Amino acid sequence: MSTKVPGNRNVSTDNSMQNLHEALNEFAANMKGTFFKVVVVNEQNLITQIYSNTTKLNKLKLNKGDNWNSISKNIVWSNELPNEGLLSAGKLVYNILKFQNRQIKLPFQIHLISSIDVDFPWLNMAMSAINTSIQAKFKDASMQKKMDDTHQFTFAIMNALKVGIISVDEQSRLLYANNLACQWINIRRRELLNIHIKQLIPSWTNIYQIVSSGKKFVNEEIAINTLDQRIKYNVTVSPILDQEQTKLIGLVIAIRELENVYHLVNKYTGMQARFTFKDIIAKSKTMRKLVDYAQNISDSPSTVLIEAESGTGKEVFAQSMHNASSRSENGFVAINCAAISENLIESELFGYDDGAFTGAKKGGHPGKFELANGGTLFLDEIGDMKPELQVKLLRAIQESAITRVGGDKNIPVDVRIIAASNKNLKDEVEKGNFRLDLYYRLSVIPLKIPALRERMEDLPSLIRFFLNKKAVRLQKEIPQLRYSILQQFLDYDWPGNIRELENAVEQYVNLDGNISFENLKLKKEEEKKKDQVDQKTSDTKTFQLRTMQEMERQLISETLVHLNYNITLSAKTLGISRNTLYLKAQKHKITLPTRIVQK
C-alpha cells in the first residue's frame, strides 16, 4: 500500500506509519502535562497507537487494538464544524477533534481527545501543532526519498557509461567509483573507497595542482596502479564547485582505455576539437591582440587562412575558433594536405562512390567535406596541395557542394573552411605553385601567428605549463627551474617554435633538470647540415641515376600499384587517356594483369 505525501510522492504504509509515529511522539513530548490524548486508528478501524503524557484522562479507557467503531458510536459531531465533537464514555464527556489535512492523505485517522473543560480553540491550536509536526516530518521524508531516488538515478547512469568514473572530495579522499572503474582497477568498491587516490595515481599531486588552479586536464595519458600492475589510461579530471561556483568541493576522474580512445579518434577522422582559447597562453601584448582578433572572427562563416611557421600552434587556433563558434556542436574535421598521398587526397576530401576504383569500399565512402557538414573543415599545410586538386577545392568552396570520386551527384555541404600553411602563399602564387583565385578565396580573413622568438614574454608561462604537463605524464617530480636555466631558455632562438620548446622541457623533466643548451644547439646544427647533405646527395643521385624515361616508367608503375591497377583512375591521375596509358605501359614493358586489361 502507498500513501500520498507532499509533492505528490508515494511512500509505503510502513514508512508513513514510522514518520507519523515520530511526529506524534515529538508532539506528545512537547505537550507534557496537558490534558490531551492522541489516538491513531487504522483502515480496519482498530486503534494502533495512543499518545498521552497526562494522567488526567485515565478514566477514559482506550487501549491499542480496541475497535474504534464501538467508540465512535458515542461521538456526536458538530453540524457546523464536522471535525469537532463530544465523546461520551460512561458518565463523563470529552471533547474530540478530528485531524484534517488535504495535502497529506494518510491511511489513518488521528483524533485529539481532551477533558471537557479544554475549549475547542485550544484544541485547534494543539491540532495545528500536530499538523505542523506531521508536515515537517513528511516533508523531510519526501525530500530524503527524492535525494535517494536521485542518487539511484546517478548511480545507474554512472554504471551505464563506458567510462570509468571516480570521484574524490577536496581532500582527495575517494567518495565513489562506478562498476567499470572497479573492474579496470581490479578491486572491490568497498576496498577501493578505503585507499587514497595517490595509491592509484602516483602523479595525483601534480594533477590536483593543475585542475585546482583552473586549468584543464583533458585526455591525458596517465599510469594507474591496479591491484597487480600499472596500466596507462586516458584520463580527464574535472573540478566540482559549490553552488556559488567559487569553492572547490571535489573532483571527478574519467578513465578510458587507450585502445577505445584511439578507436574513437580513428572513427571520427583522426581529430577532435578539444582546444579552446583558454588553452592558449597569451601573456605578451602581441598574443593577447591575436587571441582577441581570433575570438572576434570565430563565428564568421568566411574562410580563414592561418599562416605561420611549423610548431606555432595553428591547429590550436583552428580548434579554438571552432569551439567558440555556433558550429561547435557539429564536427571539426582535419586533414593534412601534405601527409596524404597525392593519389588519395581527392577521395579523402570528396569521398568516393561504390565501384569508383578497385578496392573501393562497398557503398562508397564520405569524404572530409561531408563529415564536416554543419561544422568546420581544417585544411592543414594547404600550400602543399597539387594544382590539379586546387581547382576542385576552389569549385567546392565556391559552390558549397562536392562530387564524390566516381560519382555524378552534386552533394550540397555547409562547411566553414579554416586553412593553414607554413609557407608564404603569396610567394607560392608567384612561383606558380598555388592558384591566385584559390588564395583569394581562402584568405578572406587572414590570421598570422607569430613565431616563438617574436613572443618571448610568453616563454616563462609556456615553460611552467609544459613542466606541469610533462611531470604528470612522466610520473616525475617537477624539477626546479633555476634562473640560469631559465635564462638559457630565453636566450635560445627556438627555430622549432613551441613544438621544440615542448620537447626541450620534456627532456629537462626526464633528466631531472640537467639539460645542455650547447648540446641542443649543436644537435640542431648537425641536423641542419645533415638535411642539406641528404638533399644534395638525393638530388645528385636522382640526376645521375634516373633519366626522363626511367622517371616516367617509375611514375606510371607506382601509380598503377597504388591504385590497384585501376586503368581509368590511374589514367585520370596521370592526366592521360586510357589508350595512352596502355601504349606507355607497353613501351616501358609494364605488365598489366589480364583481368585488369580486360576492364
3-state class (DSSP) for residue 328: coil
Residue 582 pLDDT > 70, yes or no?
yes
Q: What is the mean pLDDT of residues 382-405?
A: 90
Collect all residues with Cβ–Cβ distance below 8 Å to 425 and sequence separation of at least 6: 305, 307, 382, 383, 434, 439, 442, 443
**Which pLDDT belongs to residue 421?**
95
**Which pLDDT belongs to residue 54?**
60
> Which range among 173-177, 340-344, 382-386 shows the weakest confidence by mean pLDDT?
340-344
> Which range among 84-88, 131-135, 411-415 shows the weakest confidence by mean pLDDT?
131-135
Pairing of β 2-5 and β 217-225: unpaired
3-state class (DSSP) for residue 358: coil
**For 301-356, how does the pLDDT look when each residue is reduced to its tens digit (9 = 90+)?**
999 999 999 999 999 999 999 999 999 888 899 998 888 777 778 888 998 887 66
Q: What is the mean pLDDT of the chain?
A: 80
Q: What is the mean pLDDT of residues 239-259?
A: 83
pLDDT grade for 155, boundaries at 50, 70 and 90: low
pLDDT grade for 154, boundaries at 50, 70 and 90: low
Q: What is the mean pLDDT of residues 198-215?
A: 88
3-state class (DSSP) for residue 489: helix
Scored b (16 or more CB within 10 A) or e, 356-365 reads: bbeebeeebb
Name which of 268, 128, 234 is nearest 473 in CA terms.
234
Percent of the chain with pLDDT over 70: 78
Cβ proximity of 51 and 134 under 8 Å: no
Percent of the chain with pLDDT over 90: 22
pLDDT grade for 277, boundaries at 50, 70 and 90: very high
> Which range among 109-118, 397-406, 411-420 shows the weakest confidence by mean pLDDT?
109-118
**Which pLDDT belongs to residue 309?**
93
Q: Which residue has the cell 571535489?
A: 250
Q: What is the mean pLDDT of residues 248-268?
A: 66
Domains of the chain, each with CATH number or no CATH: 2-148 (3.30.450), 162-267 (3.30.450.20), 277-450 (3.40.50.300), 453-545 (1.10.8.60), 548-597 (1.10.10)
Question: Hey, how many other C-beta atoms are within 10 angstroms of the C-beta on 278?
Answer: 12
Amino acid at 417: I
Q: Where would I find the H helices in 415-477?
A: 425-431, 436-442, 459-473
**Which pLDDT belongs to residue 270?**
44
Separation between Cα atoms, residue 177 and residue 154, nearest integer Å? 12
Separation between Cα atoms, residue 221 and residue 469, nearest integer Å? 10
Residue 286 pLDDT > 60, yes or no?
yes
Q: Residue 255: enclosing H or E segment and its boundaries?
A: strand 248-257
Residue 29 pLDDT > 70, yes or no?
no
Collect all residues with Cβ–Cβ distance below 8 Å to 24 and sequence separation of at least 6: 38, 40, 49, 51, 110, 130, 133, 134
pLDDT grade for 228, boundaries at 50, 70 and 90: confident
Cell triple for 141:
521524508
pLDDT grade for 595, boundaries at 50, 70 and 90: very low
Q: What is the mean pLDDT of residues 545-564?
A: 77
Task: Report phi then psi at 89, rounded to 5.
Answer: -135, 100
Separation between Cα atoms, residue 513 and residue 584, nearest integer Å? 61
Q: What is the mean pLDDT of residues 158-164?
A: 73
Residue 103 pLDDT > 70, yes or no?
no
Q: What is the mean pLDDT of residues 404-411?
A: 85
Diameter over CA atoms, the chain? 133
> Which range among 264-273, 285-294, 356-365 shows the weakest confidence by mean pLDDT?
264-273
Angle at 507 between CA 502 and CA 508, to 5 degrees: 95
Which one of 5-19, 431-445, 469-483, 528-542 scores highest in mean pLDDT? Answer: 431-445
Q: What is the mean pLDDT of residues 429-445?
A: 91
Cell triple for 465:
605549463
Q: Where would I find the H helices in 511-546?
A: 517-545
> Which range among 274-288, 376-390, 576-590 shows the weakest confidence by mean pLDDT?
576-590
Collect all residues with Cβ–Cβ distance below 8 Å to 56 and sequence separation of at least 6: 35, 115
Name which of 231, 232, 224, 154 is nearest 195 in CA terms.
224
**For 18-28, how does the pLDDT look when each residue is reduced to its tens digit (9 = 90+)?**
666 676 766 66
Cβ proximity of 415 and 393 under 8 Å: no
pLDDT grade for 30, boundaries at 50, 70 and 90: low
> Which range among 126-140, 298-312, 472-486, 498-512 shows the weakest confidence by mean pLDDT?
126-140
Which tops the pLDDT comparison, 161 or 149? 161
Separation between Cα atoms, residue 304 and residue 293, nearest integer Å? 12
3-state class (DSSP) for residue 114: strand
